[in-house]
Amino acid sequence: MTYFLDDIDKKILKILQEDARTPFSKIAKMLNLSESTIHIRIKRLKENGVIKGFYVDVDPEKIGYNVIAFVLIKADPKKYEQILKKIYEFKEVYEIFDVTGEYYALLKVRVKSREELATILDKIGNMEGVTSTYTMFVLRTIKEMKTIDFS
């Protein structure tokens, strides 16, 4: 299931991770290959699911989304999957992970204000089957990398 990346693939991905709009011609020059080869490689990486897509990176802070919180939840095991499905639909919840330890799941929540955060936390805390929550409010973002470092 794991796709083996050769050196050329890695170099192409590295360039695209820095700027996905880099023209193929420029990539070709950088790697001393033809434009067609870059084209074929990228096409293959897409077909194999390595490249899931191209997205624009919007600065959340610039558009007012500057409140982040991580929420740990514990739940009634019988209702857990149902709870996850519901939380999945919340657009304010950007990440959901099952985790080991005292709590069941870890959520990353991003909103525009503390009021909005309070609303979401209430919604989650009051869901049927949620037995306890623990919220960690983010005071400062020190690092938030969105690309993979495979150097």
Give the one residue of 3, 10, 30, 34 binding DNA; rule: CB under 7 A: 34
CA separation, residue 71 to residues 29, 85, 92, 101, 103 (Å): 47, 16, 12, 14, 10
Q: Which CB sits closer to DNA, 37 or 66?
A: 37
**Considering CB distances under 5 to 8 angstroms, the limit depending on partner class, which of DNA, its own copies, none binds residue 99?**
its own copies
Place of tokens 């009634």: 76
Tokens of 70: 């991580």
Binding residue count for its own copies, defined by CB under 8 A: 65
> Which residue number, 58 or 126, has a Cβ lying nearer to its own copies?
58
At 106, give phi and psi (nearest 5°): -120, 130
| 121 is an interface residue for its own copies by CB under 8 A | no
Are the CB atoms for 22 and 15 separated by under 8 Å?
yes
Task: Say whether residue 144 binds its own copies (CB under 8 A).
Answer: yes
Task: Name the DSSP class of 128.
Answer: T
Residue 35: both structure tokens together = 């434009």
Q: Is 105 in the site for its own copies (CB under 8 A)?
A: yes
Stretch touching DNA by CB under 7 A, among 28-36, 52-60, 108-116, 134-142: 28-36
Q: Which is nearer to DNA, 54 or 88 (CB)?
A: 54
Per-residue contact string for residues 41-80; x = within reach of DNA by CB under 7 A:
x--x------------------------------------
Contact 76, 27 (CB under 8 A): no
What is the spatial distance between Cα 106 and Cα 70, in angstroms, rounded to a whole number? 7
By the criterion CB under 7 A, which residues form the site for DNA?
A: 8, 23-26, 33-37, 39-41, 44
